[in-house]
Amino acid sequence: MSDFSLIGLSFPELTAALEATGLEPKPARMRARQLWNWTYVHGAREFAGMSNLAKPFRAEMERRFTLARPEVVTAQTSEDGTRKWLLRAAPGVEFETVFIPEEDRGTLCVSSQVGCTLNCSFCHTGTQRLVRNLTAGEIVGQVMVARDRLNDWADREDGTRRVTNIVMMGMGEPLYNFDNVRDALKIVMDGDGLGLSRRRITLSTSGVVPMMARAGEEIGVNLAVSLHAVTKEVRDEIVPLNRKYGIEELLQACADYPGANNARRITFEYVMLKGVNDSPAEARALVKQVGEKLVAESLAAKSPYKFSFHVLGDPRTVNAFALPGGPIFITEGLLRLLKSEAELAGVLGHEIGHVIARHSSERLAKQQLTQGLLGALVVGSGDYSTAQIGQVVGGIINMSYGRDDELESDALGIRIMAEARYDPRAMIRVMEVLAKASGGSKQPEFFSTHPAPENRAERIKAEIAKRFPSGVPEGLRK
């Protein structure tokens, strides 16, 4: 009995392994195809049950090879259905795989290294020394273990898939283990085997700039960049790799990422760390970046307005609003409740909609705000004094848009998000967040009670369905 696992061999390597047992090239290729199908379509764990292979051949395979996956050390299931497996490849070589079920997908978070050489300040793995890179077999093995444990092979009664998406976001920096990650993902994407589309796979990097182009060319999956900060000083501290490959270089590599402008998507990850990157400067830079992206890539680009995006440093007020001509504001209080770039895009897209539809002009006229105050705000070059903001916010919070204005802005917001390739479903979550934040008291202006929140969420869903009649496509910015 051998302990040589065939899991993780490429198809040519598998064929070569069979030739090494004495088979001629042609029969070796045929047998390799059959083994490949048993292994990666049906999830076979031993050769004995491979009914279309001759018994002596199965016995020979049994003697020489195994189909072993990494050993499961512990398995945990949390209340929301998330499953976490601690796996062991060899003594002291332990790593985690996590499955996150959602309504319309199941995402498997896969590790690429045991430990890590980078020391991102928010990451537990960063505190562990690098033990070693995982092999292609150990990376593919994580997908096999998840499918075993979730009863997710082709023979599954209802024919549906549980693991629909993969993110290389577990332990380690995948681009520091490039060859094995590439080889493993090629097996995962093979249409005659595990068969996951490249559009459903995302590789997360802390910003290994020199490897990003190769990742695009040789693997071709979506990319997630752990940005976490938009100033050098802060990113140097949170993601120390930034000292080697700075933000400008990183953003250039993103712009150059092969296929970035069509099917392949790049997303940026951003965690808010209290007292580190949640300063007004950081928040401002993020809001500006997302707002400008929305304008540049949507119908707003053709409008005559001069959009600008600002954060009001008020952690207690949950609000966002637009002024005539383009200045858009979001409070720190609302910003902190948002969990993704797409949710922020939802808030800003909605406000851009108000500007385009000229709602704010009518509303401000109704409130008879003085031209002097408005002039000061619009002409001001970015930073607004607390007193000015106080007056305007005070005035605006006490106003609410009419039903039709809100619905029109929701629809425009969804269109703007879609055109800028943000997932418009994030807008539904924004509604939930704001409903919760209002806690039954006076609703924030952005979340006007007229129409009722549930109806508005329903209208948003209907608008999304209208825009995407055959379902929201994969790969939009989250």
Taking the least distance from each CB to ligand SF4, the nearer of 82 and 121 is 121
- Partners of 434 in the beta sheet? none
Taking the least distance from each CB to ligand SF4, the nearer of 118 and 225 is 118
Q: What's the closest the beta carbon of residue 208 comes to ligand SF4, in angstroms?
A: 9
For residue 411, give both structure tokens.
């629809």
Taking the least distance from each CB to ligand SF4, the nearer of 5 and 97 is 97
Taking the least distance from each CB to ligand SF4, the nearer of 115 and 324 is 115
CA distance readout (Å), 170 to 29, 98, 102: 34, 8, 18
The CA distance from 269 to 284, in Å, is: 16
Q: What's the closest the beta carbon of residue 116 comes to ligand SF4, in angstroms?
A: 3
Q: Could you tell me how many helices (H) and strands (E) the chain has, helices first?
A: 17, 13
Check residue 130 and report its DSSP letter.
P
Query: Do residues 353 and 412 lie in contact, with contact meaning Cβ atoms separated by under 8 Å?
Result: yes
Q: What's the closest the beta carbon of residue 171 comes to ligand SF4, in angstroms?
A: 6
Q: What's the closest the beta carbon of residue 245 comes to ligand SF4, in angstroms?
A: 13
Taking the least distance from each CB to ligand SF4, the nearer of 116 and 418 is 116
Check residue 8 and report its DSSP letter.
T
Burial 136-171 (b: 16+ CB within 10 A, else e): bbbbbbbbbbbbebbebbeeeeeeebbbbbbbbbbb
Taking the least distance from each CB to ligand SF4, the nearer of 175 and 418 is 175
Query: Do residues 164 and 199 lie in contact, with contact meaning Cβ atoms separated by under 8 Å?
Result: no
Q: What's the closest the beta carbon of residue 232 comes to ligand SF4, in angstroms?
A: 18
Q: What's the closest the beta carbon of residue 231 comes to ligand SF4, in angstroms?
A: 19
Q: What's the closest the beta carbon of residue 246 comes to ligand SF4, in angstroms?
A: 17
Q: What's the closest the beta carbon of residue 167 comes to ligand SF4, in angstroms?
A: 12
Please tell me the total number of residues recorded for the chain in this structure.
Answer: 478
The CA distance from 307 to 288, in Å, is: 10
Specify the 3-state DSSP secondary structure of 101. Answer: strand
Closest CA to 140 of 184, 96, 106, 99: 184
Count CB-CB contacts under 10 A for residue 348.
28
DSSP letter for each residue of 346-401? HHHHHHHHHHHTTHHHHHHHHHT--HHHHHHHHHS-S---HHHHHHHHHHHHT---
Taking the least distance from each CB to ligand SF4, the nearer of 164 and 202 is 202
Task: Return residues touching ligand SF4 (CB under 6 A).
Answer: 116, 118-120, 123, 125-126, 171-173, 206
Q: What's the closest the beta carbon of residue 203 comes to ligand SF4, in angstroms?
A: 12
Taking the least distance from each CB to ligand SF4, the nearer of 53 and 93 is 93
Cα torsion angle, 211, 292, 296, 224, sign: positive
378 phi/psi in degrees, rounded to 5: -75, -40
Taking the least distance from each CB to ligand SF4, the nearer of 57 and 268 is 268
